[in-house]
Amino acid sequence: MEKRQALIFLPVLAVASFLVKISGSSSFRPVLTGPDLAFSGPRVVFRCVASNVSPPVVYELIKDGRVRIGRNRDFQGGQVASFPIKVTAASEGSYHCRATAGGTTEISNSIKLRVVTPPSYTRVTSEPFPPVAYEGSRMALSCDAERGSNLSYSWFFNRKEITSSTSLPFHFVENKLLVERVTPEYAGNYSCTAWSSVNEIKRISSSTEVQVTIKVYVSKPEISFSVHKEGTSYHGNVTCWSTRGSPPVNLYLLLDGKEVDSVTAAQTPAAWFLVVVVPELDMGEARCRVKTENQDLTSEPVNLEFQLEEM
């Protein structure tokens, strides 16, 4: 019973599909192809074609439903109309094509083009600036590209890319590289690249290197006193040093609280001072003082006296 009914319906369906074909030939559907994502700079091509239409056909590329970008004629039929456009940031928008033939105009599908601007003139800026940070302080480096959209960033420390498996901890926040508390290990050369990609094609802009210096706070200075004989006179040698601390530092010799000599130590936080000494005479109490731009520390005192039998 079921089968018989299906057979009766079959001719009816055939007629229906025939009717659709006839009406389809009178209205044609142009098809637009082209990119939906492109770098600004190079050319891209939109192409439009309508099939089953008698020439001549006029094709127009329309942007955002209003602006005509180009116009092309096909006198032979079946020819693809090409619309090359040079991509700029202003090319972003929605495109469709319009085909006119035999007094009928038909509209194609639309393509939404998004434009990615490649990065350029990338550089690293630092906070603090200049890039000199004290141990324990915060450091923030920014990767700034003068131009570019949809950018991603990569960072390099002494020419090696910083990744999550880099032994020193770093934080990445947008275009920034952050360290909450720097230690001397963070001293070195940093650079970055900004990049954007379109369909697996990467455009990269690299910065130059920025040399970061990490300063170590000086420790309380130590003092020592020694005497040596020169001819008939004696010279005392007061040596001052901090076991840690970044140069340059200023070292001062204080005698009974008064500054009598000073030295700027550029290599290591240490210096020595020569003092004339007279045996058996107490020449006072010496101390060392070490000063940097943000520290001022004084050593324990040492008495500048010696007995001849000690020599």
Ligand X SMILES: *[C@@H]1O[C@H](CO)[C@@H](O)[C@H](O)[C@H]1NC(C)=O
Question: Which residues would be at the binding site for ligand X (CB under 6 A)?
Answer: 37, 114, 116, 150, 158, 188-189, 209, 211, 237, 239, 272, 274
Instruction: Tell me the sheet residues that pair with 83.
Output: 46
Question: What minimum distance in Å lies between the beta carbon of 92 and ligand X?
Answer: 9
CB neighbours of residue 167 within 10 Å: 5
Question: What minimum distance in Å lies between the beta carbon of 302 and ligand X?
Answer: 13
Q: In this structure, what DSSP letter does residue 301 have?
A: P
- Asked if residues 109 and 32 have their Cβ atoms less than 8 Å apart, the reply is yes
Question: What minimum distance in Å lies between the beta carbon of 158 and ligand X?
Answer: 5
Rank residues 30 and 118 by Cβ distance to ligand X and give the closer one.
118
Rank residues 181 and 235 by Cβ distance to ligand X and give the closer one.
235
Q: In this structure, what DSSP letter does residue 216 have?
A: P
- Asked if residues 277 and 270 have their Cβ atoms less than 8 Å apart, the reply is no
Question: What minimum distance in Å lies between the beta carbon of 102 and ligand X?
Answer: 39
Burial of 267 (C-beta count, 10 Å sphere; 0-12/13-18/19+): exposed
Rank residues 79 and 189 by Cβ distance to ligand X and give the closer one.
189
Rank residues 80 and 283 by Cβ distance to ligand X and give the closer one.
283
Rank residues 209 and 261 by Cβ distance to ligand X and give the closer one.
209
Nearest CA among 237, 244, 224, 257 for reference residue 292: 244
Question: What minimum distance in Å lies between the beta carbon of 37 and ligand X?
Answer: 5
